[in-house]
Every structure is written in structure tokens, then in C-alpha cells.
């Protein structure tokens, strides 16, 4: 027992609270950034969160450079362009403002701005982590969705059209120095995106809890993250102005990403190709595939799922594990339906004849390697069919 050395580390400083965006100039000063490069997407540029950040920077007398060209499921070209503009403006740090897409481009920008090579050279699954020669310029992340947790994570997920898949670059050098969690910035997020991003946070918590890596600290964080999503996601979805629900969902999203430093599972392997090939939102893709993966994992994950069912019930009843675990799958399905997410990949533009090809891509994706039950490509195909 305990013969493998483990490391537990939670280094990003998180500033949380209504109006927390005001501290941005002070955060920049603390970490020594004089000329920040703000990365966001065109939708947000025109939305209230950008105005809030712009005012905070103006009030603090901070001159900044803006890049607002991030695509949803961001593409390598976003990073290349941002890095060019970053160097041209002689910036010395980034502020990623937005959902996972903008935050991930911000994180990848500091790498490509300072180091020779393409994103594929740094891809985690082909050993790219060792080629990342940080430290890079500092990163501040300001999430405006409550889902990916990229604000506290060490990865950036960027689509390569050339490789036809999402590239994950992963390194402690990519961890933001500060994450600013301001619930007000998520109020303008529409209900569908609130639900889908919230299901991303839920999937992070659940897959990290079940993945077979020793990290009791992350397990505790994942369990409380699940509890927060169960309690607050429906509220945030149905009433976007519910600041208590918005704030708790922001915290749950960061908890999900802190927890998944353990690793993830098969739902994420299934979800990644659905975004690359059919443009599905990442959280939506997770929500559509999660119940099938839970049924697949039922025996292996029974104690975890039984615990999840007890969280839904808000009780500590001692029903036999397996029955309780099976209940959890239906409870997750009921929650997804309650969020207005229509079940079935078929209802989201994914043709049945694409499932075979998708299963090859999902099998090439590394997340399923830490699924609690090992999966073959045939298993992944079956899971796609079940989710279709």
C-alpha cells in the first residue's frame, strides 16, 4: 500500500465574489504584468462581461491589447493569430476572458508566442509535455461560463483541422496565476449554454471521482462539486439572475477541473470527436454520452454511483450499493431532461453512419484510458449507438 509516490498540488489563487472583476488591475500588478493581452470571442466582445472587464481595466489605468477572434471549439489558427498579435504588441501576460474556448486560446498563446513549434509538437498524448519549455508569461483567467474549469486547469484544448481532432496540451506551466470568479459575469449566459456547460462541470466531477488514480483530496472536491451541481444547476438554468446559483456553479466548475487533475474517462473520449466532427458543444456532447457510459461502468463504479444517488436524495440511506448505483443513472438522465437537453445524438445532427468512424477517433483519444472500466473500440462504438 502507498508504494507509489503521489503529488497533491492546488496552485492557482482564486478570487471569488460578486464584483470580483474589480481586482483585475491589482492582480495584474501582483504578478508583474504591465501590458496585458486580453483574449475573448466575438460574442462576448459584444456582451456585458466584456464591458465589466473593460471598465475594470480603464478604472485601473491599464493599457491592454485585445484579441477577439476565438472560435467556439477553438482552432489552431486562433492561437497562431493571437500569438502574432501578442508579439507585435509586445505584451507580457494574457487575460483569458470567456468560456473554455477563450481561456484555452489564451493559455496556448503564451506558448506559441514564445516557443518555436506548432501545437502538435506539444500535444500531451505524444509526449509534448516534455517539449514545453516554460515558464511562460503569466495567465489570468476570467470564466464567463461555469463548466470547463480551464481557469484552474493545466490544459488547453485546441482543434487541429489538419489532424482532424482536438489537441490537448498539458503542463503545469499553463496554470493561470489567478482565476477571477465573478458570478455576475455569468448572468448573461443563455439557458441552453448554462445547462450544457454545467453538465461539463458535472461530468468532470463524476469522471474524476471514478477514475482509478489515488488522490483522496481531489475525490473530496469532486464529491462536493457534484453536490453543488445537483443543487444549483437547474436553478441557474431556469433563472439566470439567481446569483446564489450562478456563484455556486462557478465554484463547482473550478472544483471539477481541480478534481480532474486525477484524470477523466470514456465520456470525454466519446465527446471530443463529436465536437471536432459535428461541432457539438463540449458540455452537450458529454451530457448526451454520460448515461451510456455510466451503465457501462455500473459494476466497476457501483460504490461511487451509489454515493451519487445519495447526493441526489440528500440523504445517507444505506440501500444496497448496486441498486443505489443503478438509481444514479436514472437520476442523471432525469436531471439532463430537466435542463431541457434533448436526449440522443440523432437529435443533434450526428448521422448514424458516422458512429463507426467516431469510435475510431474516440479510441485514439487518451481520456478513456483512465475510465474505471477498460474499453475497447467496440465498446466505444456500442456506447455511441446507445447514446444515439
Residue 237 in contact with ligand NAD, rule: CB under 6 A: no
Query: Applying CB under 6 A, does 101 fall inside the site for ligand NAD?
Result: yes
**Is 145 a residue that touches ligand NAD (CB under 6 A)?**
yes
Q: Does 123 bind ligand NAD (CB under 6 A)?
A: no
CB of 150 to ligand NAD, least distance (A): 4
Distance CA 219, CA 210 (A): 9
* Pairwise CA distance, residues 277 & 274, whole Å: 5
Q: Which stretch in 56-64, 101-109, 234-242, 334-342 sits in contact with ligand NAD by CB under 6 A?
A: 101-109
Please state, in angstroms and rounded to a whole number, the distance separating the CA atoms of residues 232 and 247.
9
State the minimum distance, in angstroms, from the CB of residue 259 to ligand NAD. Answer: 11
Q: How many residues bind ligand NAD (CB under 6 A)?
A: 33
d(C-alpha 189, C-alpha 30), whole Å: 30
End-to-end Cα spacing for the chain: 42
Binding mask 48-77 for ligand NAD (x = CB under 6 A): -x----------------------xxx---
Cα 193 to Cα 281: distance, rounded to the nearest angstrom = 9
- Concatenating the DSSP letter of every residue in 21-83 gives GGGHHHHHHHTT-SSEEEE--HHHHTSHHHHHHHHHHHHTT---EEE--PPSS-BHHHHHHHH
Q: In terms of CB distance, is 40 or 210 closer to ligand NAD?
A: 40
Return all residues near 57 (Cβ < 8 A) that are at least 6 apart. 24, 25, 36, 38, 64
**Among residues 27, 57, 62, 156, the one that binds ligand NAD under rule CB under 6 A:** 156
Q: Provide Rg for the chain, Cα atoms.
A: 20
Scan residues 199-218 and list those touching ligand NAD (CB under 6 A).
Answer: 200
Residue 282 touching ligand NAD (CB under 6 A): yes
At its nearest, how many Å lie between ligand NAD and the CB of residue 260?
Answer: 7
Report in angstroms how near the CB of residue 305 gets to ligand NAD at its nearest: 22
- Binding region for ligand NAD (CB under 6 A): 41, 43-44, 47, 49, 72-74, 98-102, 104, 144-145, 147-148, 150, 153, 155-157, 185-186, 188-189, 193, 197, 200, 257, 282-283
Amino acid at each position: 500500500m502507498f508504494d507509489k509516490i503521489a503529488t497533491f498540488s492546488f496552485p492557482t489563487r482564486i478570487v471569488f465574489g460578486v464584483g470580483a472583476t474589480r481586482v483585475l488591475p491589482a492582480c495584474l500588478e501582483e504578478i508583474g504584468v504591465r501590458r496585458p493581452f486580453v483574449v475573448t470571442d466575438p460574442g462576448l466582445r459584444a456582451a456585458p462581461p466584456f464591458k465589466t472587464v473593460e471598465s475594470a481595466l480603464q478604472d485601473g489605468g491599464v493599457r491592454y491589447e485585445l484579441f477577439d477572434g476565438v472560435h467556439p471549439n477553438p482552432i489552431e489558427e486562433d492561437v497562431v493569430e493571437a500569438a502574432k498579435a501578442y508579439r507585435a504588441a509586445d505584451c507580457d501576460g494574457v487575460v483569458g476572458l470567456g468560456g473554455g474556448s477563450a481561456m484555452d486560446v489564451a493559455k496556448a498563446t503564451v506558448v506559441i508566442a514564445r516557443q518555436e513549434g506548432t501545437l502538435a509538437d506539444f500535444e500531451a498524448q505524444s509526449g509534448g509535455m516534455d517539449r514545453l519549455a516554460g515558464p511562460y508569461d503569466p495567465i489570468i483567467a476570467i470564466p464567463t461560463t461555469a463548466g470547463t474549469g480551464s481557469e484552474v486547469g493545466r490544459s488547453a484544448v485546441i482543434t487541429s483541422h489538419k489532424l482532424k481532432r482536438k489537441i490537448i496540451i498539458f503542463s503545469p506551466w499553463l496554470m493561470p496565476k489567478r482565476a477571477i470568479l465573478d458570478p455576475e459575469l455569468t448572468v448573461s449566459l443563455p439557458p441552453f449554454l448554462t445547462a450544457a456547460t454545467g453538465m461539463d462541470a458535472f461530468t468532470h466531477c463524476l469522471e474524476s471521482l471514478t477514475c482509478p488514480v489515488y488522490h483522496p483530496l481531489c475525490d473530496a472536491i469532486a464529491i462536493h462539486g457534484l453536490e453543488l451541481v445537483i443543487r444549483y444547476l437547474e436553478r441557474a438554468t431556469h433563472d439566470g439572475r439567481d446569483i446564489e446559483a450562478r456563484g455556486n456553479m462557478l465554484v463547482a466548475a473550478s472544483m471539477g477541473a481541480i478534481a480532474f487533475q486525477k484524470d477523466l474517462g470514456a465520456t470525454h473520449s466519446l465527446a471530443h470527436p463529436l465536437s471536432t466532427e459535428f461541432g457539438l458543444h463540449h458540455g452537450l456532447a458529454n451530457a448526451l454520452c454520460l448515461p451510456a457510459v455510466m451503465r457501462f461502468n455500473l459494476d466497476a463504479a457501483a460504490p461511487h454511483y451509489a454515493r451519487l444517488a445519495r447526493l441526489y436524495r440528500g440523504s445517507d440511506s444505506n440501500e444496497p450499493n448496486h441498486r443505489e448505483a443503478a438509481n444514479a443513472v436514472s437520476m442523471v438522465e432525469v436531471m439532463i431532461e430537466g435542463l431541457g437537453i434533448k436526449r440522443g445524438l440523432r437529435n443533434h445532427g450526428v448521422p448514424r453512419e458516422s458512429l463507426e468512424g467516431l469510435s475510431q477517433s474516440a479510441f485514439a483519444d487518451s481520456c478513456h484510458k483512465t475510465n474505471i472500466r477498460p474499453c475497447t473500440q467496440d465498446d466505444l462504438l456500442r456506447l455511441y449507438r446507445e447514446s444515439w
